[in-house]
């Protein structure tokens, strides 16, 4: 596993991770044919904007953040449609909400994980499977300066990561380490593992510094 893939899916952009506070909410609504709707919410410290704004750093990001990023993504990939984009101030933060439709699983994977290393989909007439590696083991942060990591821990302390998934019928989710082995979640985490919508909410630091990584396995 690449040692620098610390937050493989959600914060693959180092400049964002190390210079700002950010909370992430990701919701996937899946249709039976593999199409669906993706809703992403970023709660970003205004500190980030002092580094040139969302558009100013967007070229560094694997996950599109700015409206122009998403417009370019939709223009390049006709299987992705930007439904809405909003940005508003909330205290010391900027909240960005993005809603996009995708026509197939490959389009969704391109948006979430352009490297196509950390997401595995399968789909058949009965349902489907989604395998997401959210973060690698905590050793993947070893290449970063210890003082910088302490700053990251301080800045991220009050920010959460939230994931939810729904599909026709009921879904089931398993939460494992990077090797697919069952783990115990931090007491502050909350999870719904079966039902019409499965979900996980936890502190970003807990997901980023999980000792053996964090993986979500979903069946629907």
Instruction: Express each pLDDT in 17-43 by its tens digit.
Output: 333 445 788 999 999 999 999 999 888
Higher-confidence residue of 148 and 187: namely 187
pLDDT at 163: 93
Spatial distance between the Cα atoms of 182 and 108, rounded to a whole number of angstroms: 26
Give the mean model confidence (pLDDT) for residues 112-139. 78
pLDDT at 171: 97
| Mean pLDDT (whole number) for 176-181 | 89
* Confidence (pTM): 0.77
Which one, of 216, 218, 167, 158, lies nearest residue 31 by Cα? 167
Confidence bin at 3 (pLDDT 50/70/90): very low
| Residue partners of 208: CB distance under 8 A and separation at least 6 | 6, 7, 11, 135, 141, 156
Q: Mean pLDDT, the chain, as a whole number?
A: 77
Report domain extents, the chain.
14-219
Q: Residue 92's pLDDT band (boundaries 50, 70, 90)? A: confident
Q: What is the pLDDT of residue 6?
A: 40
Instruction: Please check whether residue 33 is in contact with residue 127, taking contact to mean a CB–CB distance below 8 angstroms.
Output: no
Q: Give the span between the Cα atoms of 109 and 212, in whole angstroms.
A: 23
**147 has a pLDDT exceeding 80:** no
| Residue-level pLDDT at 137 | 56
């Amino acid at each position: 596993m690449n040692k620098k893939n610390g937050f493989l899916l959600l914060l693959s952009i180092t400049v964002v991770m190390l210079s700002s506070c950010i909370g992430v909410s990701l919701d996937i609504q899946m249709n039976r044919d593999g199409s669906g709707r993706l809703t992403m919410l970023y709660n970003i410290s205004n500190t980030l904007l002092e580094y040139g704004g969302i558009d100013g750093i967007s070229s560094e990001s694997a996950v599109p953040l700015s409206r122009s990023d998403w417009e370019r993504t939709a223009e390049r990939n006709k299987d992705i449609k930007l439904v809405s984009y909003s940005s508003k101030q909330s205290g010391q933060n900027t909240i960005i909400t993005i809603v996009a439709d995708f026509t197939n699983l490959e389009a969704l994977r391109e948006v979430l994980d352009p490297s196509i290393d950390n997401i595995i989909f399968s789909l058949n007439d009965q349902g489907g499977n989604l395998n997401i590696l959210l973060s690698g083991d905590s050793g993947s942060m070893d290449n970063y300066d210890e003082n910088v990591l302490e700053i990251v821990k301080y800045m991220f302390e009050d920010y959460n990561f939230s994931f939810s998934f729904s599909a026709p019928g009921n879904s089931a989710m398993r939460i494992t380490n990077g090797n697919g082995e069952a783990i115990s979640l931090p007491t502050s985490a909350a999870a719904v593992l079966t039902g019409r919508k499965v979900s996980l909410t936890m502190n970003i630091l807990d997901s980023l510094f999980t000792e053996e990584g964090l993986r979500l396995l979903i069946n629907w």
